[in-house]
A and B are shown apart, each in its own frame.
Chain A
Amino acid sequence: MKQSRRNFLKFAGLSAAGLCIAPTAVMASGGSSGGAQYEVNSNHLQAKRWAMVVDTRKLNTEEAIEALAETCHHIHNVPSIDSNQDIKWLWSGTYGEVFPEQENNFPSEAQEKRRFPLLCNHCEHPSCVRVCPTKATFVRPDGIVAMDYHRCIGCRYCMAACPYGSRSFNFMDPRPHLDMDNINKKFPTRMRGVVEKCNFCVERLAVGEMPACAEESGGAIVFGDLQDPDSNVRKALRENFTIRRKPAAGTEPGVYYII
Chain B
Amino acid sequence: MLEKALKGGPKYWAWIGFLLLIIGAGFCTYIGQLQEGLTITGLSRDVAWGFYIAQFTYLVGLAASGVMIVLPYYFHHYKKFKGMVIMGEFMAIAAVVMCLGFIIVDIGQPQRMLNIIFHPTPNSILFWDMIVLNGYLILNVVIGWTCLECDRQRVSHPSWVKPLVYTSIIWAFSIHTVTAFLYAGLPGRHYWLTAILAARFLASAFCSGPAILLLVVFVVRKITKYEPGKAAIGTLTTIITYAMCVNVFFFMLEVFTAFYSNMPGHMHSLVYLFAGEHGHTELVPWMWTAAIFAIVSLALLIPPKLRYNQKLLPWSLAILVIATWIDKGLGLLIGGQTPNPFNEVTVYWPTGKELMISFMVYALGALTLTFLYKIATDVKRETGELTTED
Contact = CB atoms under 8 A, between A and B. Distances in A.
Interface of A: 83-86, 88, 93, 96-98, 100-101, 127, 130-136, 151-157, 159-165, 168-173, 191-195, 246, 248-251
A156 to B, nearest CB: 4
B246 interface: no
Given A134-B121, A246-B188, A160 B343 contact: no
Interface centre among A88, A160, A170, A246 (most CB of B within 10 A): A160
Contacts of B43: 85, 171
A51 B376 CA distance: 63
Interface string B331-368: 00000110011111010000000000000000000000
B46 interface: yes
Contacts, number: 146
A154 B107 contact: yes
B39 interface: yes
Contacts of B106: 155
A88 to B, nearest CB: 7
Contacts of B107: 153-155, 193
A135 B39 contact: no
B108 A135 contact: no
Contacts of A101: 264-265
B262 interface: no
B173 to A, nearest CB: 22
Contacts of B344: 97
Contacts of A251: 187
Given A156-B108, A192-B37, A192-B108, A133 B341 contact: no
A152 B116 CA distance: 10
B119 A88 contact: no
Nearest to B182: A157
Interface string B38-57: 11010111101100000000
11 contacts: A84-B45, A88-B45, A101-B265, A130-B123, A133-B126, A153-B109, A165-B341, A170-B37, A170-B108, A172-B37, A193-B37
B124 interface: yes
A64 B37 CA distance: 34
B188 A130 contact: no
Contacts of A127: 186-188
B187 A155 contact: no
Nearest to A166: B341
A93 B341 CA distance: 12
A138 to B, nearest CB: 10
B37 A173 contact: yes
B390 interface: no
A192 B106 CA distance: 13
7 closest pairs, A vs B, by CB? A154-B108, A163-B188, A193-B108, A192-B37, A165-B341, A84-B44, A249-B187
A140 B182 CA distance: 25
B112 A172 contact: no
B115 interface: yes
Given A153-B115, A193-B38, A97 B109 contact: no
